[in-house]
Amino acid sequence: MFYRGKLVLVTGGAGFVGTHIVQELLRRGARVRVTLHNRPLAVKDERIETVHADLSEREDCLRAVKGADYIFHAAGAVAGAAVTADNPLEGIIVNLTLTARVLQAAWAGEAERILIFSSSAGYPAADYPITEDRMWSGPPHAAYYGYGWMRRYLETLGMYIASKSKVRVAIARPAAVYGRWDNFDPRASHVIPALIRRAVAGENPYVVWGTGNEVRDFLHVTDLARGCLLLLEKCADCDPVNIGSGRAVTIKKATEMILEAAGHAGAEVRFDAARPTTIPFRMVDISKAKKKLGFEPAVRLEDGLKDTVEWYKRALQRSSTRDKRT
């Protein structure tokens, strides 16, 4: 009942994570407002109010947050390893600017609560499931150095806003997220959509960046959305919380699952350690999320990957049909 009847703004609500937060809010009876900038809504629903806004502009942010009770700030820039290596500052600049502007508007507009995203990329290197208190125990891994410090600063900025205003701030530290409406653009996709795209295309040999021994904590986006709603409700006190799957998997194993789901298990798999990769091991400890939020991941990796593969195939078919009509 926490969200029922509340006006909830989702910045980036037409994007990957934002789309799933919007769907979860609608299921809970919220009145949902979404900012639109460069893309249309992924999900059409007459209950969604849209506001066209450039969140780098102060006046647009103020207009977007006006009257909102709660805010989920899901707008920002994300990119894969190759893009980060080629243009490391772009994502940092965009995320700093948009988050600072939205926090400023939340303060001026007297929103009750806002959730902002930090990242597991902010943690120092570790070969174990890392807990929230380890964030400041060392610098971020070299592969995430600039991006990781940016996420740390955004946490600090959120704490500053909370200390100076009545706005209550929730801070989410997600693991690696995947699922429907992910970014499958070959220039910018993360590892899961990149592997799915090439598996569905039937590439053979099937080349995977890295050694295959890299370990990740892959979180289905619907689990992230549920976790974020719980976090804003139960822990909007600037106390960062990891949201992950609680399960570690090697890239090699994830690759096998994806090839099986795509019907391409017979491909010759080659691992290329010379191509860009990031941290060798990253898994977050989710004990705090379980204790404080009552959060439990619901989607097994095998099931989530199958669903994402099937969704991507259908998306390709729809795109092909549209191209033929035009």
| Residue whose C-alpha is closest to residue 113's, from 11, 293, 287, 235 | 235
Q: Determine whether 206 is an active site residue.
A: no
CB 197 within 8 A of CB 312: yes
Query: Considering 3, 70, 144, 147, which one is annotated as catalytic?
Result: 147
| Residue whose C-alpha is closest to residue 36's, from 10, 62, 3 | 10
Backbone φ and ψ of 94, nearest 5°: -60, -50
List for the chain the helix, strand, coil content (%; round to 5): 45, 15, 40
CB 107 within 8 A of CB 229: no
| Residue whose C-alpha is closest to residue 248's, from 209, 281, 212, 290 | 281
Number of other residues whose CB lies within 10 A of the CB of residue 163: 9
Catalytic residues, by residue number, are 147
